[in-house]
Chain A
């Protein structure tokens, strides 16, 4: 079983739409949670950390449900520039990161 599972998509949404991505993680001892963004043929970059209380950064909202081992990312008012792959990432005790396969988003004009 993979450490982190997410729907690979693709998600094709019109500009201005709201889109939600979900992922689940298998290790209940996981301590830190993140969403990374990766543009085509580029390196991953941290989008935001995810906290149990939920957190928001502009149009982006992240939620963590520890009981269900479930992480979500909500993007409101999608922009063309949001088109990318969104990687769900978990850190479990050790210092390496476990990545999901990524969910590909395309925002259509």
Chain B
């Protein structure tokens, strides 16, 4: 079966631009998570969805970051007015329920010039 997929795999943008990163979770998984991984660091939690609602957005660094999951499946992470410090790999994970194993997608490598 298909795993978690993320598009695009790479995104290069200029400082100040708006970007959207997409995540397709494993079919039937109710929980979806976004993480950010900077070079040499472990993944850092951003936001968690249970169904359509954001159950925990405490990891979003500031109000330039926003994520949606309108139909409880695909999720989009949106970053406004990108800054060079936003450059990282953005990882999405999903799990059947919040208590189950999280499966990660391959990530989107974002580079802000």
Contact = CB atoms under 8 A, between A and B. Distances in A.
A98 to B, nearest CB: 7
B35 to A, nearest CB: 8
B40 A8 contact: yes
Nearest to B31: A95
B102 A97 contact: yes
B55 interface: yes
Interface in A62-109: 87, 89, 94-102
Interface string B48-86: 101000011001000000000000000000000000000
A96 B41 contact: no
A43 B104 contact: yes
Contacts, number: 48
Interface residues of B, number: 23
Contact of A95 (B55, B91, B104, B107): B55
Contacts of B59: 96
Contact of B42 (A87, A95, A96): A87
A4 B42 contact: yes
Contacts of B99: 95
Contacts of B105: 43
A95 B101 contact: no
Interface size class of A (residues with CB under 8 A): 10 to 19
9 tightest CB-CB pairs across the interface, nearest first? A99-B42, A43-B104, A96-B45, A95-B98, A99-B43, A101-B42, A87-B42, A102-B42, A100-B42
22 contacts: A4-B42, A8-B40, A43-B104, A43-B105, A43-B107, A44-B43, A44-B91, A46-B102, A87-B42, A95-B55, A95-B99, A96-B45, A96-B48, A96-B59, A97-B35, A97-B45, A97-B102, A98-B45, A99-B35, A99-B44, A101-B40, A102-B41
Given A4-B42, A43-B106, A95-B98, 6 more contacts: A8-B40, A94-B48, A96-B48, A100-B42, A102-B41, A102-B42
Interface of B: 31, 33, 35, 40-45, 48, 50, 55-56, 59, 91, 98-99, 101-102, 104-107
